[in-house]
Structures are given as C-alpha cells and as structure tokens.
Amino acid sequence: MSDTRSKPRHRRRRTVLLAGAPLAVAAAAALAYGGGFLGADGADSASAATAADAATAAAWADDTADGFASVDAQGQDGTYGGRGGETVTVKTLADLEKYATASKPYVIVVAGEIKMDPVGKEIKVASDKTIVGAGTAGHIVGGGFFLGTGVHNVIIRNLTIRDSYQGTWNDKDHDFDAIQMDGAHHVWIDHNDLRRMADGLIDVRKDSTDITVSWNKLSNDNKAFGIGWTENVVTDITIHHNWIRETEQRNPSTDNAAHAHLYNNYLQDDAGTDITSSYGNYSRGKTKMVLENSYFQGVNNPVIKDDTATLVQRGSVFSGTSGRNESGGTAFTPSDFYAYTLDKAADVPGLLKSGVGPRSSIGTASATAETKAAASTLTVAADGSAQYKTVQAAVDAVPANNTARVDIKVAPGTYRGTVTVPANKPHVTIVGTGSSRKSTVLVEGHAAGTKKPDGSTYGTSGSATVTVLAADTQLRNLSVSNDYDESKDTSIAAQAVALRTSADKVFLDSVITSGDQDTLLLDGAGKRVYMKDSYVVGNVDFIFGGATAVIDQSVITLKKRWDGTSAGYVMAPSTAAGKKGLLVNRTTISGDVSADSFHLGRNWHAGGDASLDPQATVRNSTLGAAIKAKPWTDMGGFSWKDDRFAEYKNTGDGAGSASADRPQLSDAQAAQQEVADWLGDWTPTAS
C-alpha cells in the first residue's frame, strides 16, 4: 500500500502538556482525600459530578494531547477524550465497564483499585472517553483496555495498570495486555505506570495511528511496547518521555510505521536482574523513525534497524550499552507535523525518574519542571561541585515542618558518615543520580558495642548508618551499608544496622542495604514501609523490627558469617498484637552459603514482652537450597508456633509442603495477606 501520510498536515494551535510539567488531576486528587465527585453518601458506585466539581475538572478534562495525537486527520480534530461529556467516578469493575463502553462521551475517574474478572479481561473502550486515575489511587489489576477498529479520541492517563502476569516472562499462552489497540486512532496514553502483564504493556496494532505515548513508566515485563502487525505503512506515532526499564524486548519494536518519532525516552537495563534486554529501539519493515535525545543505560543492542527501514538518530546518550547501534537513510521532519521541545539527553534519567507515572497533585499549565525543581531540589557531591558535600548537610538544610517534597540528589560516590532524617522533616527523597544503585553508597561502620567518644556505646538502633524518623521519606537508587568487621573484635555486641526506619510511609525504591547482623531495622508498631526492586544482604536477624513492612519483587541475599560458617536467620519480627508484621512477596531468597543452613525467621519478643505477636509471611517467592526444611524457630524462650508465621506458594529448592513445622496459608487466608492489606490507603509512588 502506498504511503499517503508523508506530507505535513494542517495543525491547529492547542494547549499541550509541557515537558516535565504534567497537569496532574486536581479533582481526581481530591477524591483520594475524601473530596471531589463521590456522592454525599460515599457510595462506591459511579456518581455524576456536581457543577462545581466539573469546573474544577476542567483544568485537566480540557487538556489535549501533543505529538501525532494532536494532529487533525481522519475527521478528528486532535485528541481531547471525553471533554464535554459527563464526569463520573468509578470504584467497581461494573461501573468502569459501563461507562468505558458507552456510546456517549465520558470523563471517567478511577478512584481506587479495580480487579479484572476474569484475570486478563480487557475492557472494550468506546470512542470519546477520558479514563483517568484519582491521584495515585487508580489501579487496574489483572487486566487492561482494548481499543478496536474505528475507536478514536481516547485518553488514558494517571493510572497504574498491573499484574496479569501468569508466571512465565515469555508467555505464549496469554494475550493479556495493559493497553491494546487494533485499528484505533487519536489515542493519548499519558502518565501511567504499566507493569507485570502476561504479554505486552502496550500494543499499537493493525493500522492504529495518530497516537502519542508520553510520561509513562513501563517496567518488569517481557514485552514493553509493540507497534505494527500489518503490511500497510500507515501508523503515525509519537513516543516521548517514557521510562522503560527491566523489559526484554519491544522497547519499542516499530514495524511498518509511516512516521515514528521517539524522543527523550529513558531505556534502562540493570545487570543481575531476572530480565535482560534483547534490544532497545527497533525500526522494522518500512518504518521511518526519528530518534532524538534519549538515554540508553545498560541496554543490549540499543538501536537497531532492518535493511528496509530508515532510522535517523541524533543527540542520544549511551551508557554501558553493547551490541548494535545503527542508523541510516532519511526519514522525516517531526516539526512539520507538530511543535515540540527537546530536553537535554543527559537530564533525561533524573527528569523521568521524578516525572513519569501517576501524579498525586495538581501542577499548573505554565510551570515547567525546571521551575518547580528550583525550589525543591538540593544537590550533594563529595567533590564539592554541588550545593553540599554530605547528605546530612543537605538534610539539615530542609526547612523544619516542610509541607512540600524536597529532593536531595546525591552524585555518584562513597559518602562515609551517618545520616538522620529527623521526624520534623517529612516528604524528603534522597536519590542517587548515578547509573545504578551501586553508584551512590552511604556507609558507616558502627556496631552496637562500639564506643562513642564519650565512652558509651551506640546500641543496636544507634548503630544505623541511615536513620529515617520522618514520615513520607523515600530512598531511591542508592546503597546503604554498615561495613563493621566482626572479626576485629569478637568481644563486643556485633549488631550493626545499615538502615533503620521508624516512620510511616517510608518508600525504599531500588535500594541495596547490606551488612551482617541486623542489617535492616524496621521499627514502629504499625508504621508502614514498602521496599521494592531492592536488595537486602546479611546473615543474622538481618530484617527485623515491629513495623508493618513489605519487601516486594526484591532479592534477599544470604551471607556467610565472619568466620566463614553458614548459619543464620533472615527475619526477626517483633510485631505488636493486632498489627501486621513483615510480608515478603515475589522475592528471591538465596546466597552463596551451605544448603539447609538458614531459617526464614524467628520470633523476637523484644525485651521479653509476652504481649507481642510476631508475624512474618513469605509468599510467591523463590527460596534457595539454604533455607531449612523447618524454616521457623524459637527465640528468647517463646515458641514461634504461638505467633504468626506462614508461607504461600513459594518455589525453589528451599520450598516445602505444608506441615506442622511449615504452615501454609489457604487461598482464602492468602487473599487477606496481600500487599494492599499491608499498605491500606497508601499507594507508594516515586516522587
């Protein structure tokens, strides 16, 4: 078929989302905190917005797409979704499907977690719809959306769509996508978090065109983003400011696209993870691709093309990549179709890590990322090239009782010394700016029995390298270590904490915590901690405390003791009665230690307190051969069988069947011990 889309088309002036400054959803954010569109009775069913609510919603409901989704074509004047239609709020699958499939235009606000039934269900969205999450609360779990032939003018924004994964990364049996298009046009996919689906995260298929995909996080999946499935050269697509990480293929794969414009995307593949990239951006068939100012980190074959395709690339950064990096031919000039502004490629990782995915609060259309960052970012570099030379100095500079988030960006390097985030400095993010979590290391070497200058000892909690006492603290993309060497003095108490938390809503994202005994102290009854995509290294009680804590999609590494022996305990919960304790979910527990040498945990009744009710659940995880056949054991004269210890559907050489020594949850019990049950109304989001 001949290419009829090669000439520039008429463009209208329209309001677009500025780079780095999303119009986060004001009215939707209100929903998450009790205001907004819900009826006076607080019912879970959909309800129409009041006139005042509709006026508030106009700030985002009237927003229109940029890129190819903004052009006038096929009788459609850009992409504006359900603008002009009724605004409704949904919290059930029935209501979401009712309004998404309706023939009338709707602005549909998803105000909670909606589970697809059956798993893999894809709601068939009709034309003229805006589907948007309420703050960060809108989750679609176990399925997604399908846009069929002729469906047009659809906006999907500010949602998390996740977890239809069926246990096999390269899944050939389940076509469960987050968003699939077959012959749709004028679609804008913006500021979503898409992960762990059974097939692809986004499929743009069968002559779908006039598509923009922007400011999304696509992660932890075999196939990220496929474009094509047709011999026709029709598709026009813009892909910008997306963070694609830990995906093997289709990053994206672009087949027979008339015009594919990719810019300011961040492709990341960390070494040592379950998923290894096969390739990055791929121009296939007769595609014409323009690739600008993107950042490729650790990706194999970062840019490839077929002999029949064209690919023009300029301005990108390649860090730790290997294999094919190709270009060739002439393509097109994107500015002939729409206006756009490029960010510097070197700035892309930091810009996207803080800017992609669902947003919890409203910005303004005129505020750029740089303007917002100027008042809320502090920088640290050990060589003196930043505002501060130590992390603690930057923390000290945060105003007491601050109400807005402050990002402390720490340059790669090793920073020796302790760091404390005090309770009166909430909403602080400490983030390493290096290429991996190993690049930025916070380290100290105090043990519980180490003497202070005044002659007293640090004690266990005081030995921590990093102490978090402030609510809503985030640590991201860095390592926290306690390198105390037990062999140097075996006469003193050897507990040596790397990281201690004693605050609610602490988010540990892509962090390594390493030590020997008592590495990670999660303090505070009922105080919530969420760790994901992280590593914890140690040997004795190295994940312990009374917090309500989740370790999700991570690696727990078992380490030999200072004398070379293999023996230890992974967890020592000290949970208060009536509170939730430690939950390990979808995590690998293994290490270079002897088989049958480590307990999963023991019950810590701190101070001999019989009223405590320690809890640890390990579920859907992979257990190495080091885990004992009787994984739980007693501590301090208290029987673990009187407390709460269980497993559910674990695999690996260290897993085992149900017995009196190895309690297993029933399916019904497991349904009450999921991540959402631990976190409650909190949805951790990188910010």
| Local structure of 102: helix, strand or coil | coil
Task: Name the residue among 226, 286, 225, 291 with its Cα closest to residue 6.
Answer: 286
The answer to whether the CB of 126 falls within 8 A of the CB of 101 is yes
Strand partners, 526: none
What lies within 8 Å, CB to CB, of 329 at 6+ separation is: 288, 309, 310, 311, 312
**Residue at token pair 């760790």:** 531
The residue count of the chain comes to 687
- Token duo for residue 31: 């929903």
Residue 48 identity: A
Cα-based angle 53, 59, 65 (whole degrees, multiple of 5): 130
> Which secondary structure element, helix H or strand E, spans residue 188, and what is its range?
strand 185-190
Q: What is the DSSP string of 258-285?
A: EEEEEES-EEE--TTSS---S-SEEEET
Q: Is 135 left (phi over 0), alpha (psi -120 to 50) or beta?
A: left
What lies within 8 Å, CB to CB, of 268 at 6+ separation is: 243, 244, 245, 246, 297, 298, 299, 349
Task: Name the residue among 104, 98, 68 with its Cα closest to residue 83.
Answer: 104
The answer to whether the CB of 549 falls within 8 A of the CB of 508 is no
- Phi and psi at 210, nearest 5°, equal 55, 60
Cis peptide before 105 (omega within 30 of 0): no
Q: What is the DSSP string of 582-634?
A: EEEES-EEEESS-TT-EEEEE---GGG-TT---EEEEES-EE-TTB-SS-EE-
User: Rounded CA gap, 46 and 61, in Å?
Assistant: 17
Neighbours of 392 (CB within 10 A): 18
Q: What is the DSSP string of 627-680?
A: B-SS-EE-BTTB-GGGSEEEEES-BSTT----BTTB-B--HHHHTTSSHHHHHT
Residue among 157, 250, 476, 662 flagged as catalytic: 250
User: Rounded CA gap, 570 and 551, in Å?
Assistant: 12
| Local structure of 61: helix, strand or coil | helix
User: Rounded CA gap, 211 and 214, in Å?
Assistant: 10
Rg (CA), the chain: 26
Q: Is 250 a catalytic residue?
A: yes
User: Rounded CA gap, 308 and 288, in Å?
Assistant: 10
> Which secondary structure element, helix H or strand E, spans residue 110, and what is its range?
strand 106-110
141 burial level (CB within 10 Å; 0-12, 13-18, 19+): middle
Task: Name the residue among 268, 293, 267, 290 with its Cα closest to residue 345.
Answer: 293
- Catalytic positions, please? 250
